[in-house]
Amino acid sequence: MSIKGASINLRFETVKEFEIESERYLGALDYGVRKHLSHFSYHWDPDEYNITILGAGPLYGLLPGTKRLVGVYRSPINGILTLSTLGGASIELLKSGFDLVEIHAKCPRKSILVINDGKIEIIPYGRVPESAYALQEELRQEFMDRFPYPFRILGTGPAGHYTCFGAALSKHIKNGRFDRGSEGWMGRGGLGSVMGRVHNLVAIVFGGTHRPRRPALLSDSRRLNELARKHFSKGYMQVAYDATTKYRFDPNTGTGGTLGNNLFEAQSETPSFNFQMIYLSREARQQLWSKYIKPHFFQPFQQDTIEPKKQKTCGENCPAVCKKYRGDLKKDAEPYLWGGTLAGILYMNDAERLVRALDDIGVDAIEGGAQVCCLMEALWRGWIPLEDAGIDERPNMDPDPGCYSRADSEKNARIAEKLAYDLGLQRTKLSTHFREGFRKGVRILTDKYGHSFKDIAVYSCFGDERSNAPNPYWNPGFLMPSPFLSRFCTYYKEGFFEPEEYGAKIADSIVSELINENFGLCRFHRKWLTGFVGPLFKEAYGIDLDPYKFCKELAARMIEYDHKSYYLPAPWESERVIDLVATYASKLAEAGNETARNWSDRFVKDKHKTALEYWTRTRRAILAYFGRDANI
């Protein structure tokens, strides 16, 4: 048995089909990393030369969580090799007749790549889409007749064509209609911008009637259940059901999904006001939670989404039903924190305005949201004249709960919504400064307005000029010098550790997460699927694969690539980021953590020296785990 791929050159409109023996196809990420290394893509700027690989996982089959589409490309945001994934979308890719597509070069004009039941064509589109959502609807109507079977649209928004931080959207189509609430984003790393600016693609439309080329075991429920019973003492659907309680509905917390869980767990530590809440006293943070975030942000989510069970799957037959929604808006933690509380918007219905804007322009909600939040704080501080932002009222980004009111949430949403549209559509001079990324943007603002904008910007540095906005947690794990920061490839459980121990924990998490990412598995199923990969390979392919060892080597190759590209993690340069780590240490020190106390005391004595030492030693430990010396 073999899998089938297609190498598409958009400039010359050529397609080379190829086959790989199934036993040699060990994941789309593995394939993509080898491809980028063999094409020396690290020699170029990722905006000038890039290769996009879209692939299904080798364990695709009846097991829930095995059908994520994996995208591999070099990120125009942070400069390193990266990936993003889309739940359920391998179904339509495999039906289109291919397991894997490689996209090279650039269309002469804005175009749509169509992969229809084994045939590939490039159709001119001719313009930049005005909205990611409107494009989905337009193309659904246009392609419905050509695809009288399941299909998907992986589309861009304007941000994918005008900026380096565009994302790619795909709404699941069921019986010819969009299945409201089940849409997914390939958000992190700027895939929308790789499509829009490197390939000149507006969308990729794919679907068909082909049968997946996978070993029989993977579509045989009886044999899969036998295997699951051997390993877990119960059938696979029951294992998946039990392992995904948190994402469906947890009776212990009374909530579900990423947003519900994050808010329930964080409570008074919910990130807000561009992370300025870290400077508040414990009591003031508690007041923010009990007076605003809990009644006006968390409870509306509970009432409008969790209680009426507004939930969907990504397109897979999956008992986790992790997609929570209200109306036409999906409710996930990252967009609603960066597009809500962190923007000083503490009322859920106001946050929907900003999230809708970020979605509409087709932007990575973390990267775009972090830029909006930084601008909001700068405007509040008076660092940017209001007229330069095209507004006539100042946002209120004061985290003090005594200085905040209902009207501030509404006002902040109004301003942030405008800033988001400006960024995506590049329609003000101010927004054009961010076209090539957050870090370059704050440098321009500093030159122009004379304030140290980097000190209120929340990002990790890569190389001399690129950066990466973190997932919205008050946890150093998302700021540490890991080369995989744009995903969950880090250690973020509570705790403060010596750098050597922390580096090893982060490296171990990188490998475990890469097992899911590389094999196209949903990380929400990690409790059972990650450890099941080895037995599945053995039974399905007859291969004795050690997934951990394999993915550790894969991570090492990705690090090798990054070293060749010179976009390596660089020390923290933002005061806010250093404060995030220092205040986290002091918070845990108060709770009795001795390691945190030691480091917290050192942060108080000499914050910058301590930060550099902690960062450097952690980086050394991460690299040592993968057999490399730090080259900083």
Q: With CB under 6 A as the contact rule, which of the stretches 285-293, 316-324, 465-473, 560-568 interacts with ligand SF4?
A: 316-324
Number of helices and strands in the chain (H, E): 25, 20
In this structure, what is the dihedral angle of CA atoms 16, 21, 23, 25, given to the nearest 10 degrees?
0
Residue 316 engages ligand SF4 in binding (rule: CB under 6 A): yes
Under rule CB under 6 A, residue 320 binds ligand SF4 = yes
What is the Cα–Cα distance from 291 to 330, expressed in whole angstroms?
25
Q: In angstroms, what is the minimal distance from the CB of 26 to ligand SF4?
A: 21
322 near ligand SF4, rule: CB under 6 A: yes
> Judged by CB, which is closer to ligand SF4: 316, or 367?
316
What's the rounded Cα separation, in Å, for the pair 151 and 136?
A: 12
Spatial distance between the Cα atoms of 624 and 264, rounded to a whole number of angstroms: 36
Nearer to ligand SF4, 57 or 271 (CB): 57
What minimum distance in Å lies between the beta carbon of 321 and ligand SF4?
Answer: 6
Site string for ligand SF4, 231-270 (x = CB under 6 A): -------------x--x-----------------------
Q: Considering the complex, what minimum distance in angstroms separates the CB of residue 318 from ligand SF4?
A: 3
Q: Which two tokens stand for residue 403?
A: 């200085």
β-bridge mates for residue 205, sequence order = 114, 153
Cβ-based nearer residue to ligand SF4, 364 or 417 = 364
Tell the smallest beta-carbon distance from residue 290 to ligand SF4 (Å): 31
* Binds ligand SF4 (CB under 6 A): choice among 313, 426, 468, 530: 313
Helices (H), 127-232: 132-143, 159-162, 191-193, 221-232
Nearest to 82 by CA among 488, 484, 521: 484
Which residue reads 């979308």 in tokens? Answer: 89
* Gap between the Cα atoms of 23 and 33, Å rounded: 18
Question: DSSP letter at 19?
Answer: E
Which of 314, 373, 391, 588 touches ligand SF4 (CB under 6 A)?
A: 314
DSSP symbols for 69-86: EEEEEE-TTTSSEEEEEE
- 168-170 and 184-186 as β-strands: parallel, antiparallel, unpaired? antiparallel
Nearer CB in complex with ligand SF4: 257/368: 257
How far apart are the C-alpha atoms of 490 and 513, rounded to whole Å? 8
- What is the smallest separation between the CB atom of 423 and ligand SF4, expressed in angstroms? 28
Closer residue to ligand SF4, CB minimum distance, 157 or 257: 257
The residue from 5, 27, 46, 64 that contacts ligand SF4 (CB under 6 A) is 64
Pick the closer one to ligand SF4 by CB: 524 or 614: 524
Residues 372-431 that bind ligand SF4 (CB under 6 A): none
Among 32, 58, 87, 189, binds ligand SF4 (CB under 6 A): 87
Task: Give the nearer residue to ligand SF4 in terms of CB position, either 87 or 97.
Answer: 87
**E strand or H helix that includes residue 185:** strand 184-186
Which of 5/257 has CB closer to ligand SF4?
257
| Nearest to ligand SF4 of 147, 247 (CB atom) | 247
Distance CA 537, CA 469 (A): 36
Query: Distances in Å between the alpha carbon of 326 and those of 180, 183, 356, 365, 371?
Result: 9, 13, 12, 18, 26
Min dist CB 143 to ligand SF4, Å, is: 24
User: Can you give the binding site for ligand SF4, defined by CB under 6 A?
Assistant: 64-65, 87-88, 244, 247, 313-314, 316, 318, 320, 322, 522, 524
